[in-house]
Structure 1
Amino acid sequence: MRIGYENLMPESFPPVVRIAHLSDVHLPPPLPVAAGDLMNKRALSLLSWHFNRRHHHLAALGDAVVADIAAHHPALIAMTGDLTNFGLIPEMEAGAAWLAGLPAPAVIVPGNHDRMTGLPWAKGLALWSPWMAPDEAHFPYVRRIGPVALIGVNSAVPSPPFMAYGRVGARQTARLAALLRRLRGSCRVVLIHHPPRTGLVPWRKSLLDSRAVTAALKAAGAELVLHGHSHDASASTVRGAGIPLIGSASASLDSSKPGRRAGWNALDIRREDEAWRIDLTRRVLRPAGDGLETLTQRSWLRPVS
Protein backbone atom coordinates (compact mmCIF):
# COMPACT_ATOMS: atom_id res chain seq x y z
CA MET A 1 0.00 0.00 0.00
CA ARG A 2 1.62 3.23 -1.19
CA ILE A 3 1.15 6.14 1.19
CA GLY A 4 2.60 9.60 0.56
CA TYR A 5 2.45 13.01 2.20
CA GLU A 6 2.89 16.52 0.90
CA ASN A 7 3.87 19.39 3.18
CA LEU A 8 2.29 22.75 2.44
CA MET A 9 4.34 24.50 5.16
CA PRO A 10 7.21 22.09 5.86
CA GLU A 11 9.56 24.16 8.01
CA SER A 12 7.75 26.96 9.83
CA PHE A 13 4.14 27.34 10.85
CA PRO A 14 2.21 29.59 13.24
CA PRO A 15 1.34 28.39 16.76
CA VAL A 16 -2.30 28.39 15.65
CA VAL A 17 -3.15 26.77 12.30
CA ARG A 18 -6.32 28.29 10.86
CA ILE A 19 -8.30 26.21 8.36
CA ALA A 20 -11.17 27.71 6.40
CA HIS A 21 -13.78 25.03 5.72
CA LEU A 22 -16.34 25.69 3.01
CA SER A 23 -18.49 23.47 0.83
CA ASP A 24 -21.12 23.18 -1.89
CA VAL A 25 -20.26 26.37 -3.76
CA HIS A 26 -22.13 25.21 -6.91
CA LEU A 27 -20.46 27.63 -9.29
CA PRO A 28 -22.82 28.91 -12.02
CA PRO A 29 -22.73 26.47 -14.95
CA PRO A 30 -21.66 27.54 -18.43
CA LEU A 31 -24.76 27.83 -20.58
CA PRO A 32 -26.17 26.59 -22.83
CA VAL A 33 -25.42 22.95 -22.00
CA ALA A 34 -24.69 20.90 -25.11
CA ALA A 35 -27.47 18.46 -26.03
CA GLY A 36 -25.00 15.57 -25.97
CA ASP A 37 -24.29 16.22 -22.30
CA LEU A 38 -27.96 15.81 -21.39
CA MET A 39 -28.48 12.20 -22.48
CA ASN A 40 -28.25 11.05 -18.87
CA LYS A 41 -29.02 12.15 -15.30
CA ARG A 42 -27.84 15.69 -16.09
CA ALA A 43 -31.11 16.44 -17.91
CA LEU A 44 -33.09 16.12 -14.66
CA SER A 45 -30.46 18.07 -12.76
CA LEU A 46 -30.60 20.88 -15.33
CA LEU A 47 -34.36 21.13 -14.86
CA SER A 48 -33.88 21.28 -11.09
CA TRP A 49 -31.26 24.00 -11.50
CA HIS A 50 -33.40 26.02 -13.91
CA PHE A 51 -36.59 25.96 -11.83
CA ASN A 52 -35.09 25.87 -8.33
CA ARG A 53 -31.39 25.92 -7.55
CA ARG A 54 -30.35 28.90 -9.69
CA HIS A 55 -32.72 31.09 -7.67
CA HIS A 56 -31.11 30.07 -4.36
CA HIS A 57 -27.43 29.34 -5.12
CA LEU A 58 -26.05 32.77 -5.97
CA ALA A 59 -22.56 33.48 -7.23
CA ALA A 60 -22.46 36.80 -5.37
CA LEU A 61 -22.87 35.00 -2.05
CA GLY A 62 -19.99 32.65 -2.84
CA ASP A 63 -17.85 35.68 -3.70
CA ALA A 64 -18.77 37.30 -0.37
CA VAL A 65 -17.79 34.12 1.51
CA VAL A 66 -14.40 33.98 -0.23
CA ALA A 67 -13.80 37.68 0.52
CA ASP A 68 -14.60 37.06 4.19
CA ILE A 69 -12.22 34.10 4.26
CA ALA A 70 -9.47 36.29 2.80
CA ALA A 71 -10.01 38.84 5.58
CA HIS A 72 -9.39 36.12 8.21
CA HIS A 73 -6.06 34.94 6.71
CA PRO A 74 -6.32 31.13 6.92
CA ALA A 75 -3.29 28.93 6.39
CA LEU A 76 -5.39 26.59 4.25
CA ILE A 77 -8.82 26.41 2.61
CA ALA A 78 -10.51 23.00 2.81
CA MET A 79 -13.33 22.48 0.31
CA THR A 80 -15.59 19.46 0.90
CA GLY A 81 -17.11 19.01 -2.54
CA ASP A 82 -19.82 20.11 -4.96
CA LEU A 83 -17.91 22.94 -6.56
CA THR A 84 -20.00 22.33 -9.71
CA ASN A 85 -23.62 21.61 -10.60
CA PHE A 86 -23.39 18.96 -13.32
CA GLY A 87 -19.77 17.78 -13.43
CA LEU A 88 -19.29 19.03 -17.01
CA ILE A 89 -15.81 19.51 -18.47
CA PRO A 90 -16.28 23.32 -18.79
CA GLU A 91 -17.38 23.37 -15.13
CA MET A 92 -14.24 21.47 -14.16
CA GLU A 93 -12.16 24.05 -16.01
CA ALA A 94 -14.00 26.90 -14.27
CA GLY A 95 -13.53 25.11 -10.94
CA ALA A 96 -9.78 24.84 -11.49
CA ALA A 97 -9.61 28.59 -12.18
CA TRP A 98 -11.66 29.26 -9.03
CA LEU A 99 -9.37 27.08 -6.88
CA ALA A 100 -6.28 28.77 -8.32
CA GLY A 101 -7.70 32.20 -7.44
CA LEU A 102 -8.43 31.48 -3.76
CA PRO A 103 -6.65 33.66 -1.19
CA ALA A 104 -4.80 30.72 0.46
CA PRO A 105 -3.55 27.25 -0.54
CA ALA A 106 -6.52 24.94 -1.01
CA VAL A 107 -7.43 21.27 -0.95
CA ILE A 108 -10.65 19.69 -2.18
CA VAL A 109 -12.53 16.39 -2.25
CA PRO A 110 -15.18 15.72 -4.92
CA GLY A 111 -18.91 15.80 -4.27
CA ASN A 112 -21.80 13.99 -5.93
CA HIS A 113 -22.47 16.92 -8.31
CA ASP A 114 -18.82 16.84 -9.39
CA ARG A 115 -19.21 13.14 -10.25
CA MET A 116 -22.76 13.16 -11.56
CA THR A 117 -21.95 10.74 -14.39
CA GLY A 118 -19.16 8.32 -15.24
CA LEU A 119 -17.05 10.99 -16.98
CA PRO A 120 -13.50 9.58 -17.15
CA TRP A 121 -11.18 11.00 -14.52
CA ALA A 122 -8.68 12.16 -17.15
CA LYS A 123 -11.32 14.35 -18.83
CA GLY A 124 -12.79 15.89 -15.68
CA LEU A 125 -11.56 15.65 -12.11
CA ALA A 126 -7.94 15.39 -13.27
CA LEU A 127 -8.14 19.17 -13.76
CA TRP A 128 -8.31 19.50 -9.96
CA SER A 129 -5.33 17.23 -9.26
CA PRO A 130 -3.13 20.13 -8.00
CA TRP A 131 -5.58 20.49 -5.11
CA MET A 132 -6.22 16.82 -4.36
CA ALA A 133 -5.04 13.35 -5.43
CA PRO A 134 -3.55 12.83 -8.92
CA ASP A 135 -6.03 10.01 -9.63
CA GLU A 136 -8.62 7.83 -7.93
CA ALA A 137 -6.05 5.26 -6.80
CA HIS A 138 -4.34 7.86 -4.59
CA PHE A 139 -7.35 8.56 -2.37
CA PRO A 140 -7.23 9.17 0.50
CA TYR A 141 -4.48 11.75 0.02
CA VAL A 142 -2.61 13.71 2.71
CA ARG A 143 -1.54 17.34 3.00
CA ARG A 144 0.50 18.51 5.98
CA ILE A 145 0.57 21.96 7.58
CA GLY A 146 3.01 21.70 10.45
CA PRO A 147 1.37 19.46 13.07
CA VAL A 148 -1.95 19.23 11.17
CA ALA A 149 -2.51 16.40 8.68
CA LEU A 150 -5.47 16.74 6.32
CA ILE A 151 -6.72 13.48 4.82
CA GLY A 152 -8.97 13.77 1.76
CA VAL A 153 -11.45 10.93 1.16
CA ASN A 154 -13.42 10.48 -2.07
CA SER A 155 -17.06 9.51 -1.48
CA ALA A 156 -18.33 10.72 -4.87
CA VAL A 157 -19.71 8.03 -7.18
CA PRO A 158 -22.20 8.25 -10.06
CA SER A 159 -25.71 7.43 -8.89
CA PRO A 160 -29.09 6.83 -10.60
CA PRO A 161 -31.63 9.63 -11.18
CA PHE A 162 -33.13 11.10 -8.00
CA MET A 163 -30.26 9.62 -5.95
CA ALA A 164 -27.20 11.40 -4.57
CA TYR A 165 -25.61 8.76 -2.38
CA GLY A 166 -21.89 8.24 -1.83
CA ARG A 167 -19.57 5.31 -1.28
CA VAL A 168 -15.95 5.15 -0.07
CA GLY A 169 -15.29 1.48 -0.85
CA ALA A 170 -13.26 -1.21 0.89
CA ARG A 171 -9.87 -0.31 -0.63
CA GLN A 172 -10.13 3.35 0.27
CA THR A 173 -11.45 2.59 3.76
CA ALA A 174 -8.49 0.28 4.45
CA ARG A 175 -6.09 2.94 3.17
CA LEU A 176 -7.80 5.54 5.38
CA ALA A 177 -7.32 3.38 8.46
CA ALA A 178 -3.65 2.82 7.60
CA LEU A 179 -3.05 6.55 7.14
CA LEU A 180 -4.76 7.43 10.40
CA ARG A 181 -2.58 4.93 12.28
CA ARG A 182 0.64 6.18 10.65
CA LEU A 183 -0.25 9.81 11.39
CA ARG A 184 -0.82 9.35 15.12
CA GLY A 185 0.75 12.26 16.95
CA SER A 186 -0.48 14.73 14.33
CA CYS A 187 -3.82 16.49 14.47
CA ARG A 188 -5.67 14.34 11.90
CA VAL A 189 -8.44 16.15 10.02
CA VAL A 190 -10.49 14.01 7.62
CA LEU A 191 -12.26 15.67 4.66
CA ILE A 192 -15.23 13.90 3.03
CA HIS A 193 -18.30 15.08 1.14
CA HIS A 194 -20.96 12.68 2.45
CA PRO A 195 -21.28 12.72 6.26
CA PRO A 196 -20.29 9.38 7.86
CA ARG A 197 -23.31 9.42 10.15
CA THR A 198 -26.92 8.47 9.51
CA GLY A 199 -29.68 11.02 10.05
CA LEU A 200 -27.87 14.10 8.73
CA VAL A 201 -29.17 13.60 5.17
CA PRO A 202 -31.99 11.46 3.69
CA TRP A 203 -31.13 7.87 2.75
CA ARG A 204 -31.02 8.64 -0.97
CA LYS A 205 -28.20 11.13 -0.23
CA SER A 206 -26.42 9.04 2.40
CA LEU A 207 -22.99 7.43 2.58
CA LEU A 208 -23.87 3.83 1.78
CA ASP A 209 -20.87 2.33 3.59
CA SER A 210 -21.03 4.72 6.51
CA ARG A 211 -20.81 1.84 8.98
CA ALA A 212 -17.48 0.62 7.57
CA VAL A 213 -16.02 4.14 7.43
CA THR A 214 -17.17 4.82 10.99
CA ALA A 215 -15.54 1.59 12.15
CA ALA A 216 -12.24 2.63 10.55
CA LEU A 217 -12.39 6.06 12.18
CA LYS A 218 -13.21 4.52 15.54
CA ALA A 219 -10.44 1.91 15.35
CA ALA A 220 -7.63 4.14 14.05
CA GLY A 221 -8.69 7.44 15.60
CA ALA A 222 -8.97 10.97 14.22
CA GLU A 223 -9.20 14.41 15.77
CA LEU A 224 -11.80 15.94 13.45
CA VAL A 225 -13.98 15.10 10.43
CA LEU A 226 -15.24 17.82 8.05
CA HIS A 227 -18.05 17.22 5.55
CA GLY A 228 -20.42 18.99 3.18
CA HIS A 229 -23.45 17.72 1.21
CA SER A 230 -26.16 18.51 3.81
CA HIS A 231 -26.07 22.30 3.24
CA ASP A 232 -26.40 22.56 7.02
CA ALA A 233 -23.92 24.06 9.45
CA SER A 234 -23.85 21.26 12.00
CA ALA A 235 -21.69 19.95 14.82
CA SER A 236 -22.15 16.34 15.88
CA THR A 237 -19.86 13.35 16.43
CA VAL A 238 -18.86 10.17 14.65
CA ARG A 239 -21.08 7.65 16.44
CA GLY A 240 -19.26 5.53 18.98
CA ALA A 241 -15.98 7.39 18.50
CA GLY A 242 -16.57 10.85 20.00
CA ILE A 243 -14.77 12.44 17.03
CA PRO A 244 -16.20 15.92 16.23
CA LEU A 245 -18.09 15.82 12.92
CA ILE A 246 -18.47 19.30 11.44
CA GLY A 247 -20.71 20.15 8.50
CA SER A 248 -20.62 23.34 6.48
CA ALA A 249 -23.53 25.25 5.03
CA SER A 250 -23.45 25.82 1.28
CA ALA A 251 -21.17 28.76 0.49
CA SER A 252 -23.67 30.14 -2.04
CA LEU A 253 -27.11 29.37 -0.58
CA ASP A 254 -29.60 32.17 0.06
CA SER A 255 -31.75 30.94 2.95
CA SER A 256 -33.82 32.41 5.78
CA LYS A 257 -32.60 29.68 8.14
CA PRO A 258 -29.44 30.65 10.08
CA GLY A 259 -27.97 27.16 9.85
CA ARG A 260 -28.35 27.11 6.07
CA ARG A 261 -27.36 30.68 5.14
CA ALA A 262 -24.22 30.98 3.03
CA GLY A 263 -21.11 30.79 5.21
CA TRP A 264 -17.96 28.96 6.20
CA ASN A 265 -16.25 27.48 9.26
CA ALA A 266 -13.06 28.90 10.74
CA LEU A 267 -11.13 26.20 12.60
CA ASP A 268 -8.18 27.23 14.75
CA ILE A 269 -5.97 24.33 15.81
CA ARG A 270 -3.19 24.51 18.40
CA ARG A 271 -1.45 22.13 20.77
CA GLU A 272 -1.97 22.63 24.50
CA ASP A 273 0.21 20.22 26.51
CA GLU A 274 -1.04 16.72 25.62
CA ALA A 275 -4.16 17.85 23.78
CA TRP A 276 -5.20 19.51 20.54
CA ARG A 277 -7.40 22.53 21.08
CA ILE A 278 -9.84 23.01 18.19
CA ASP A 279 -11.82 26.26 18.12
CA LEU A 280 -14.73 26.51 15.67
CA THR A 281 -16.17 29.87 14.59
CA ARG A 282 -19.12 29.86 12.20
CA ARG A 283 -19.24 32.82 9.83
CA VAL A 284 -22.60 33.34 8.08
CA LEU A 285 -24.19 35.87 5.78
CA ARG A 286 -26.09 38.57 7.64
CA PRO A 287 -29.88 38.49 7.06
CA ALA A 288 -29.62 41.83 5.25
CA GLY A 289 -26.95 40.39 2.96
CA ASP A 290 -24.40 43.08 3.83
CA GLY A 291 -21.41 40.92 4.71
CA LEU A 292 -20.87 38.05 7.14
CA GLU A 293 -21.06 37.81 10.91
CA THR A 294 -20.03 35.34 13.61
CA LEU A 295 -23.00 33.19 14.56
CA THR A 296 -21.62 30.53 16.91
CA GLN A 297 -18.35 29.47 18.50
CA ARG A 298 -17.38 26.14 20.03
CA SER A 299 -14.22 24.41 21.27
CA TRP A 300 -12.94 20.87 21.74
CA LEU A 301 -9.88 19.39 23.46
CA ARG A 302 -8.75 16.21 21.73
CA PRO A 303 -5.99 14.09 23.36
CA VAL A 304 -2.79 13.77 21.38
CA SER A 305 -2.78 10.12 20.29
Structure 2
Amino acid sequence: MLVIAHLSDLHLGAHDPSAVASVAADVTAVLPALTVVTGDLTMRARAGEFRLARDLLDRLPTPRLVIPGNHDVPLVSVDRLLAPYGRYRRLIHPELDPVLRLPGVTVIGLQTTPPWRWKSGRVSRRQSEAVLAVLGSAPTGAVRVLALHHPPRAGGLARIVGRTRLMRAVASARVDLILAGHTHVPGAVLVEPGATAHRPVEVVAGTAVSRRTRGTGRSWTAIRVDRRAVVVEERLQTATGWRTGVVRRFPRPS
Protein backbone atom coordinates (compact mmCIF):
# COMPACT_ATOMS: atom_id res chain seq x y z
CA MET A 1 0.00 0.00 0.00
CA LEU A 2 1.38 3.39 -1.06
CA VAL A 3 -0.08 6.44 0.73
CA ILE A 4 0.21 9.91 -0.83
CA ALA A 5 -0.92 13.11 0.91
CA HIS A 6 -2.09 15.71 -1.61
CA LEU A 7 -2.62 19.35 -0.61
CA SER A 8 -3.20 22.40 -2.77
CA ASP A 9 -4.13 26.07 -2.80
CA LEU A 10 -2.86 27.03 0.66
CA HIS A 11 -3.12 30.77 -0.12
CA LEU A 12 -1.11 31.85 2.91
CA GLY A 13 -2.03 35.47 3.45
CA ALA A 14 -5.73 34.63 3.01
CA HIS A 15 -5.71 31.66 5.36
CA ASP A 16 -7.65 30.31 8.30
CA PRO A 17 -5.33 30.14 11.34
CA SER A 18 -7.04 27.08 12.82
CA ALA A 19 -6.52 25.12 9.60
CA VAL A 20 -2.87 26.13 9.41
CA ALA A 21 -2.37 25.08 13.03
CA SER A 22 -4.02 21.65 12.66
CA VAL A 23 -3.58 20.34 9.12
CA ALA A 24 0.00 19.08 9.47
CA ALA A 25 -0.95 16.75 12.33
CA ASP A 26 -3.85 15.34 10.32
CA VAL A 27 -1.61 14.73 7.31
CA THR A 28 1.05 13.11 9.48
CA ALA A 29 -1.52 10.74 10.98
CA VAL A 30 -2.08 8.92 7.65
CA LEU A 31 1.65 8.07 7.46
CA PRO A 32 2.21 9.17 3.86
CA ALA A 33 5.18 7.88 1.90
CA LEU A 34 5.04 11.12 -0.10
CA THR A 35 3.48 14.57 0.37
CA VAL A 36 2.59 16.55 -2.77
CA VAL A 37 1.56 20.23 -2.75
CA THR A 38 0.20 21.44 -6.10
CA GLY A 39 0.66 25.19 -5.99
CA ASP A 40 -0.83 28.48 -4.87
CA LEU A 41 1.15 28.43 -1.65
CA THR A 42 0.58 32.18 -1.26
CA MET A 43 -2.14 34.71 -1.94
CA ARG A 44 -0.04 37.44 -3.58
CA ALA A 45 3.50 36.00 -3.76
CA ARG A 46 4.76 38.36 -1.04
CA ALA A 47 7.93 37.40 0.83
CA GLY A 48 6.08 37.24 4.16
CA GLU A 49 3.49 34.89 2.68
CA PHE A 50 6.20 32.62 1.32
CA ARG A 51 7.75 32.50 4.79
CA LEU A 52 4.39 31.42 6.24
CA ALA A 53 4.19 28.77 3.53
CA ARG A 54 7.73 27.63 4.29
CA ASP A 55 6.82 27.19 7.95
CA LEU A 56 3.78 25.07 7.10
CA LEU A 57 5.66 22.98 4.55
CA ASP A 58 8.36 22.24 7.11
CA ARG A 59 5.71 20.72 9.38
CA LEU A 60 4.37 18.39 6.68
CA PRO A 61 5.77 14.87 6.33
CA THR A 62 8.74 14.22 4.06
CA PRO A 63 9.64 13.46 1.35
CA ARG A 64 7.74 16.33 -0.25
CA LEU A 65 7.26 17.51 -3.81
CA VAL A 66 6.03 21.08 -4.21
CA ILE A 67 5.23 23.11 -7.34
CA PRO A 68 4.13 26.74 -7.78
CA GLY A 69 0.72 28.00 -8.87
CA ASN A 70 -0.49 31.17 -10.54
CA HIS A 71 -0.77 33.00 -7.20
CA ASP A 72 2.92 32.32 -6.52
CA VAL A 73 3.91 34.82 -9.23
CA PRO A 74 3.73 38.54 -8.21
CA LEU A 75 0.47 40.04 -9.48
CA VAL A 76 1.36 43.66 -10.28
CA SER A 77 5.08 44.16 -9.85
CA VAL A 78 8.24 44.63 -11.87
CA ASP A 79 9.26 41.26 -10.40
CA ARG A 80 6.60 39.62 -12.57
CA LEU A 81 8.69 40.66 -15.56
CA LEU A 82 12.24 40.44 -14.19
CA ALA A 83 12.12 37.60 -11.66
CA PRO A 84 8.64 36.02 -11.62
CA TYR A 85 9.74 32.92 -9.68
CA GLY A 86 12.52 34.56 -7.68
CA ARG A 87 10.80 34.50 -4.29
CA TYR A 88 9.49 30.97 -4.84
CA ARG A 89 12.96 29.69 -5.79
CA ARG A 90 14.62 31.44 -2.85
CA LEU A 91 12.12 30.59 -0.12
CA ILE A 92 10.46 27.35 -1.29
CA HIS A 93 12.50 25.34 -3.81
CA PRO A 94 14.95 26.15 -6.61
CA GLU A 95 13.39 23.64 -9.05
CA LEU A 96 10.13 24.51 -10.83
CA ASP A 97 9.73 21.06 -12.46
CA PRO A 98 10.95 18.77 -9.64
CA VAL A 99 11.37 15.01 -9.86
CA LEU A 100 11.33 12.44 -7.06
CA ARG A 101 12.24 8.79 -7.46
CA LEU A 102 11.36 6.76 -4.36
CA PRO A 103 10.84 3.06 -3.72
CA GLY A 104 7.54 2.17 -5.37
CA VAL A 105 6.78 5.61 -6.82
CA THR A 106 8.15 8.05 -9.38
CA VAL A 107 6.73 11.57 -9.52
CA ILE A 108 7.34 14.62 -11.69
CA GLY A 109 5.95 18.09 -11.04
CA LEU A 110 5.33 20.65 -13.79
CA GLN A 111 5.22 24.42 -13.41
CA THR A 112 2.16 25.34 -15.49
CA THR A 113 2.00 29.08 -14.80
CA PRO A 114 3.97 31.21 -17.29
CA PRO A 115 4.27 34.80 -16.00
CA TRP A 116 2.39 36.22 -19.00
CA ARG A 117 -0.76 34.25 -18.10
CA TRP A 118 -2.96 35.49 -15.27
CA LYS A 119 -5.05 32.39 -14.62
CA SER A 120 -4.85 29.75 -17.33
CA GLY A 121 -1.93 27.36 -17.69
CA ARG A 122 0.54 26.11 -20.26
CA VAL A 123 2.60 22.96 -20.67
CA SER A 124 5.50 23.22 -23.09
CA ARG A 125 6.78 20.61 -25.49
CA ARG A 126 9.87 20.23 -23.29
CA GLN A 127 7.71 19.53 -20.25
CA SER A 128 5.63 16.92 -22.07
CA GLU A 129 8.83 15.24 -23.23
CA ALA A 130 10.05 15.25 -19.62
CA VAL A 131 6.86 13.48 -18.50
CA LEU A 132 7.51 10.76 -21.06
CA ALA A 133 11.20 10.48 -20.21
CA VAL A 134 10.81 10.42 -16.41
CA LEU A 135 7.58 8.48 -15.94
CA GLY A 136 7.98 6.32 -19.02
CA SER A 137 11.25 4.98 -17.60
CA ALA A 138 9.91 4.33 -14.09
CA PRO A 139 10.53 0.81 -12.75
CA THR A 140 7.95 -1.86 -13.50
CA GLY A 141 5.22 -1.77 -10.86
CA ALA A 142 6.10 1.70 -9.58
CA VAL A 143 3.23 4.18 -9.21
CA ARG A 144 3.73 6.92 -11.82
CA VAL A 145 2.54 10.33 -10.67
CA LEU A 146 2.23 13.64 -12.54
CA ALA A 147 1.66 16.75 -10.38
CA LEU A 148 0.69 20.14 -11.78
CA HIS A 149 -1.35 23.13 -10.65
CA HIS A 150 -3.92 23.30 -13.46
CA PRO A 151 -6.17 20.23 -13.93
CA PRO A 152 -5.70 18.91 -17.47
CA ARG A 153 -9.47 18.41 -17.91
CA ALA A 154 -10.37 21.96 -16.90
CA GLY A 155 -11.78 24.42 -19.39
CA GLY A 156 -12.46 28.14 -19.41
CA LEU A 157 -10.00 30.31 -17.49
CA ALA A 158 -8.37 27.22 -15.98
CA ARG A 159 -7.58 25.57 -19.32
CA ILE A 160 -4.09 24.38 -20.21
CA VAL A 161 -2.48 25.31 -23.51
CA GLY A 162 -0.62 22.22 -24.75
CA ARG A 163 -3.09 19.81 -23.17
CA THR A 164 -3.34 17.47 -26.18
CA ARG A 165 0.43 17.04 -26.33
CA LEU A 166 0.61 16.51 -22.56
CA MET A 167 -2.09 13.85 -22.57
CA ARG A 168 -0.34 11.96 -25.34
CA ALA A 169 2.71 11.84 -23.07
CA VAL A 170 0.53 10.74 -20.13
CA ALA A 171 -0.83 7.84 -22.19
CA SER A 172 2.57 6.80 -23.54
CA ALA A 173 4.18 6.96 -20.09
CA ARG A 174 1.28 4.98 -18.57
CA VAL A 175 0.76 7.51 -15.79
CA ASP A 176 -1.27 6.20 -12.83
CA LEU A 177 -2.14 9.45 -11.05
CA ILE A 178 -2.53 13.08 -12.11
CA LEU A 179 -2.59 15.44 -9.11
CA ALA A 180 -3.79 19.03 -9.51
CA GLY A 181 -5.47 21.94 -7.73
CA HIS A 182 -6.44 25.47 -8.82
CA THR A 183 -10.23 25.08 -8.77
CA HIS A 184 -10.58 24.76 -4.94
CA VAL A 185 -13.20 22.07 -5.59
CA PRO A 186 -12.07 18.54 -4.64
CA GLY A 187 -12.81 15.63 -6.94
CA ALA A 188 -11.43 12.51 -8.58
CA VAL A 189 -12.26 10.92 -11.94
CA LEU A 190 -10.87 8.49 -14.46
CA VAL A 191 -9.60 10.28 -17.56
CA GLU A 192 -9.08 9.10 -21.13
CA PRO A 193 -5.79 10.59 -22.31
CA GLY A 194 -5.98 9.32 -25.87
CA ALA A 195 -6.48 6.34 -28.16
CA THR A 196 -5.57 3.83 -25.49
CA ALA A 197 -7.28 1.71 -22.86
CA HIS A 198 -5.03 3.15 -20.17
CA ARG A 199 -7.07 5.44 -17.88
CA PRO A 200 -5.24 7.32 -15.12
CA VAL A 201 -7.00 8.82 -12.11
CA GLU A 202 -7.07 12.62 -11.97
CA VAL A 203 -7.30 13.91 -8.39
CA VAL A 204 -8.03 17.59 -7.76
CA ALA A 205 -7.44 18.67 -4.16
CA GLY A 206 -9.54 21.39 -2.55
CA THR A 207 -8.10 24.37 -0.73
CA ALA A 208 -6.36 23.08 2.37
CA VAL A 209 -6.12 26.11 4.66
CA SER A 210 -7.42 29.22 2.88
CA ARG A 211 -10.63 31.20 3.30
CA ARG A 212 -11.27 30.93 -0.47
CA THR A 213 -13.38 27.77 -0.14
CA ARG A 214 -15.95 28.43 -2.91
CA GLY A 215 -18.61 26.75 -0.84
CA THR A 216 -16.88 23.38 -0.46
CA GLY A 217 -15.03 23.90 2.82
CA ARG A 218 -11.35 23.28 3.46
CA SER A 219 -9.92 19.89 2.58
CA TRP A 220 -6.91 17.88 1.57
CA THR A 221 -6.74 14.41 0.02
CA ALA A 222 -5.26 11.09 1.14
CA ILE A 223 -4.62 8.68 -1.73
CA ARG A 224 -3.95 4.97 -1.17
CA VAL A 225 -2.68 2.84 -4.04
CA ASP A 226 -2.14 -0.90 -4.12
CA ARG A 227 -1.84 -3.38 -6.98
CA ARG A 228 -5.54 -3.36 -7.72
CA ALA A 229 -7.07 -0.05 -6.69
CA VAL A 230 -6.68 3.68 -6.12
CA VAL A 231 -8.68 4.95 -3.13
CA VAL A 232 -9.13 8.72 -2.81
CA GLU A 233 -10.26 10.05 0.59
CA GLU A 234 -11.18 13.68 1.16
CA ARG A 235 -10.21 14.98 4.60
CA LEU A 236 -12.52 17.85 5.60
CA GLN A 237 -12.03 20.47 8.30
CA THR A 238 -14.94 20.73 10.74
CA ALA A 239 -15.52 22.69 13.93
CA THR A 240 -14.18 19.74 15.92
CA GLY A 241 -11.25 18.78 13.72
CA TRP A 242 -10.59 16.97 10.47
CA ARG A 243 -12.80 14.07 9.35
CA THR A 244 -13.29 11.79 6.36
CA GLY A 245 -15.59 13.10 3.64
CA VAL A 246 -16.20 11.54 0.24
CA VAL A 247 -14.23 8.37 -0.50
CA ARG A 248 -13.85 7.25 -4.13
CA ARG A 249 -12.40 3.95 -5.34
CA PHE A 250 -10.98 3.32 -8.82
CA PRO A 251 -9.29 0.35 -10.49
CA ARG A 252 -5.52 0.70 -10.68
CA PRO A 253 -4.63 1.59 -14.29
CA SER A 254 -3.24 -1.48 -16.03
Aligned-pair Cα RMSD in Å? 2.3
Displacement, 1:169? 1.1
Q: Distance in 1 between matches of 2:138 and 2:250?
A: 20
**Consecutive unaligned residues in structure 1, runs of 5 or more:** 1-15, 29-53
- Return 290-299 or 220-229, whichever deviates more: 290-299
Q: Quote the Cα distance in structure 1 between the aligned partners of 2:67 and 2:191.
A: 19
Cα contact 2:170–2:193 (8 A) shared by 1:
no
Structure 2 CA distance for partners of 1:119 and 1:91, relative to 1, 3 Å: farther
Deviation at 1:129, TM superposition (A): 5.7
Q: Which runs of 4+ in 1 moved over 6 A?
A: none
Larger radius of gyration: 1
**CA drift at 1:208:** 2.0
Letter of the aligned partner of 2:65 in structure 1?
V
CA contact (8 A) 2:107 2:144 kept: yes
* Cα distance between partner residues in 1 of 2:4 and 2:209: 19
- What pairs up with 1:64-75 in 2 under 5 angstroms? 64-75=22-33
Correspondences of 1:126-145 after superposition (within 5 Å) = 126-128=89-91, 130=93, 134-136=94-96, 139=97, 141-145=98-102
Q: State how 1:1-305 maps to structure 2 within 5 Å.
A: 16-28=1-13, 54=14, 57-116=15-74, 117-118=80-81, 120=83, 123-128=86-91, 130=93, 134-136=94-96, 139=97, 141-159=98-116, 163-183=118-138, 185=140, 186-199=142-155, 203-241=156-194, 242-254=199-211, 255=213, 257=215, 260-271=216-227, 275=228, 277-286=229-238, 289-303=239-253
Report the CA distance between 1:294 and its aligned residue: 0.9
In structure 2, stretches of 5+ residues that fail to align are: 75-79
**CA apart distance, 1:215:** 2.0
The answer for the alignment partner of 1:38 in structure 2 is none
Per-residue deviation at 1:119? Answer: 5.2
TM-score normalised to structure 2 length: 0.85
Change (3 A) 1:24 1:256: closer
- The answer to whether the 8 A contact 2:221-2:234 is kept is yes
Equivalent residues of 1:232, 1:247 under 8 A apart: yes
Percent of aligned pairs with the same residue?
A: 30
Letter aligned with residue 168 of structure 1: V
Q: For this pair of structures, how many residues does the alignment match?
A: 243
